[in-house]
C-alpha cells in the first residue's frame, strides 16, 4: 500500500500510517488529509507542527489526554480542549493528526 505524491511512491501500513517516517513532507500531509476528508487550515497545521515537535523530543506520539494538556499550555487554554481538537480532526485528534503528520499511531491509544 502506498501514497503517490509528486511522482514518488510512499509506503504506508493498512491503516494509512507511513512506513518510513522520514519520507513525510507537507505534500504527503495534504494528500493524507484529503484521504481523511480533512481540509487543512492554519489551525490544523499548528497541531501537526506541535505533534511533530513532541515526537522529535520524546520519540512517541502523545496520548490524547496528554496532547490536550500540552496544546493548552503551548497554544492557549481555548485550544487545549477535546472539543477544539475533535473539531479539527473529527476521527480523533491523536490518531488522525498523527497520520497526517507522518507519525506512528500513538502509544496508549485505546
Partner 1 sequence: MAEFEFETEGVVKKFMFLNRKAPYGTIYALEVLETVLISAAFDQEVCLAFVDDGVYQIMKGCDTAETSGMKNFSKTYRALEGYDIEQLFVEKESMEARGLSEDNFIVDVQVIPASEMATLIAGQDVVISG
Residues annotated as catalytic (active site), given as ranges: 109
Residue 81 CB, shortest distance to partner 1, in Å, is 17
* Distance (Å, whole) CA 55 – CA 59: 5
Q: Residue 83 corresponds to which cell in the numbers above? A: 472539543
Residues that bind partner 1 (CB under 8 A): 57-60, 62-63, 65-66, 69-70, 107-108, 110
* Distance (Å, whole) CA 57 – CA 109: 19
Residue 70 CB, shortest distance to partner 1, in Å, is 6
The pairing of strands 8-11 and 2-5 is antiparallel
Q: Which is nearer to partner 1, 40 or 60 (CB)?
A: 60
Q: Which is nearer to partner 1, 10 or 64 (CB)?
A: 64
Residue 66 CB, shortest distance to partner 1, in Å, is 5
Q: Which is nearer to partner 1, 35 or 107 (CB)?
A: 107
Amino acid at each position: 500500500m502506498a501514497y503517490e505524491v509528486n511522482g514518488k511512491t510512499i509506503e504506508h501500513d493498512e491503516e494509512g500510517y507511513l512506513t518510513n517516517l522520514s519520507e513525510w513532507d507537507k505534500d504527503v500531509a495534504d494528500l493524507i488529509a484529503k484521504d481523511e476528508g480533512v481540509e487543512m487550515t492554519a489551525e490544523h497545521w499548528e497541531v501537526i507542527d506541535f505533534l511533530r515537535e513532541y515526537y522529535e523530543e520524546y520519540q512517541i506520539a502523545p496520548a490524547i489526554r496528554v496532547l490536550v494538556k500540552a496544546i493548552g499550555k503551548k497554544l492557549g487554554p481555548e485550544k487545549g480542549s477535546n472539543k477544539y481538537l475533535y473539531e479539527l480532526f473529527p476521527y480523533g485528534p491523536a490518531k488522525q493528526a498523527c497520520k497526517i503528520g507522518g507519525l506512528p499511531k500513538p502509544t496508549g491509544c485505546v
